[in-house]
Structure 1
């Protein structure tokens, strides 16, 4: 069952240390080198093996990464494990959003970017240039369901169809006791209360994927697209934490946010009856996952995934990419990136699940491991 995970003192200490280091580094290429020849990654190495037996170089120093807030809790956990497995190494992950992460990866301010969306067509060549003329790979390493979170006093179970969700977020449905919502919740007492829509005010891969989901699942009834959510209806808040806190403090509020940040989560009818968000229903949807690309560059075909209407499948899933250089790093940064990602793959466990993410396993985990080890 998905629940919030209370971090240990070790994790808190690592996060505090990495956050302080990141602030000290600043934002300039001179102050925060992350993948060029002037990288500050230390040369000290201690050969080791990860929990799975993967070879670790043991390179110490600080690894700077940036991007999606949706994977922040996962990155915090991975960072704690990384510091344990490679003493003297740490990850400084700056959760500024997917757009900023990609921008700073391309600008050589981050060794890798966390992004809820694949690179845009116009970003592919600049990313390759940043990687010394080599392809940038998308590694869908952090997988988490997106919840439709709500704050409705006295209503602990809420069913919403895809059309309900579209019409709430476009402003067509404005009351919680609207007949269309009542039809999805027979026997429930819904209050005569205004619906307060909360959306991401920052450019976000979560917004991009949520809009793609709405369009695919509703057969085009939702017309918005992109990382910037339409602002005609509701109020904005910054980041995953921001929208979650805004909903918590606003009676009648609703938003879209990663499951680990949500308290009350709506059951969604994707076309074959209302489906509860849990590991089993998400896992069933993941079984249908396909890729647009081949080889080690793995871009998920989200349109097919989001259009899934199988009974007991919850396809509103965010696959967060670690966007990395396939080659072109300096040796020290390359080794640190590979060490960190190998440790992250070893950390697909119950503690990650407790953060609201779905641990990758089986064939997909093997694909990711092969890609990480192929970084040159």
Structure 2
């Protein structure tokens, strides 16, 4: 998420504690329900809390599975409040979502990585007179999820995790893992690592973390496409989570919401701080407190510090962007698109997904998003 276009990055000054004061890390539904309309299950927000716009229509979108549970919450609440408006979110991963967006097949795409320059250029064909921009709406963290009998409080660091996912470390009782977990009863068992089979922004953010923290153990460029050696693959956040839940001595990576849904354990990360950092929304909020805007104009792409050593700052985080046209949106769906994005960026929308394991974005950032949405044309 580092679409750097100039040096005008500026810190997002926020109070991390304020972000999480209302969080309840409850479990929620999986992204296997993404191909539904806005009339899904869940508690609906009061109609008065949502401005539906004047021309309700059907939106079609696709992309990130990491935000699938958030979209499920939003479309349920939005659909209950806005008669005639539906949101069909197809998931499929960030890469597929961006591709469909640049081909003009969806009104917005969810991507856990900001558009690359080539993708911005490609978007101009779909955005007549404009281009794709990144609007951050869903913040979360990537859990290193594991299923190892007898190990309840696993600690990992950047180099060790990178080596595990590249098949350089293949046993759970490897000395590198043992050194991080003194006293733990690590089994003499083969590690079964699962990675994403689809092009994934979650993979992109994980490998950005490896690039910053592995000390060269991860020799591949950060990418949405998996490049590590060995392991097995599964589709989507729900797919890898399901595999870890079923397979003994396994490990993978998934957004916190999916870890909670599947009752999976998440490793704490040794960052160089005084103690390992737990995978919690509160600790992720401490990292988002120092996020910077890297985009220009109406583009709100962010940079994040994956190598943070600050106390209580969880390093493996992601922001999911709703990728939209700044100009050239379809006239018949623009009103509903603006209304839906406005609800997602609202205090009510952010609180609703905060109760499902996501991290409410800092108000300074949602204010910027809410300033851009009315300008979409």
- Call closer, same or farther: CA 1:223–1:14 in 2, change over 3 Å: closer
Give the count of matched residue pairs. Answer: 341
- Call closer, same or farther: CA 1:100–1:189 in 2, change over 3 Å: same
Q: For residues 162-190 of structure 1, what are the alpha-carbon distances to aligned partners after superposition, in whole Å with 9 as ceiling and x for unaligned?
A: 12101111212111111111111112211
State the distance in 2 between where 1:338 and 1:121 align.
25
Counterpart residue number, 1:195: 191
Aligned match for 1:51, one of 49, 52, 70:
49
- Call closer, same or farther: CA 1:252–1:353 in 2, change over 3 Å: same
After the TM superposition, which residues 184-333 of structure 1 pair with which residues of structure 2 at under 5 Å, given as runs? 184-224=180-220, 225-262=222-259, 263-272=264-273, 273-302=275-304, 305-333=305-333
SS of the aligned residue for 1:75 comes to helix
State the distance in 2 between where 1:161 and 1:193 align.
20
Counterpart residue number, 1:25: none
TM-score (norm 2): 0.85
**Which one scores higher on RCO, CA 8 angstroms, separation ≥ 6?**
2
Counterpart residue number, 2:337: 337
Counterpart residue number, 1:365: 366
- Mapped contact 1:348–1:360 kept (Cα < 8 A): no
Q: Which runs of 5+ in 2 are unaligned?
A: 1-23, 41-46
Q: For residues 184-242 of structure 1, what are the alpha-carbon distances to aligned partners after superposition, in whole Å with 9 as ceiling and x for unaligned?
A: 11122111111111000111111111111111122443222311112521111111111
State the distance in 2 between where 1:173 and 1:70 align.
27
Q: For residues 96-149 of structure 1, what are the alpha-carbon distances to aligned partners after superposition, in whole Å with 9 as ceiling and x for unaligned?
A: 111111111111110011111122222211212311121321011111100000
Q: Which runs of 5+ in 1 are unaligned?
A: 21-48
TM-score (norm 1): 0.85
- Call closer, same or farther: CA 1:107–1:13 in 2, change over 3 Å: closer
State the distance in 2 between where 1:14 and 1:313 align.
31
- Call closer, same or farther: CA 1:358–1:228 in 2, change over 3 Å: same
Counterpart residue number, 1:81: 77
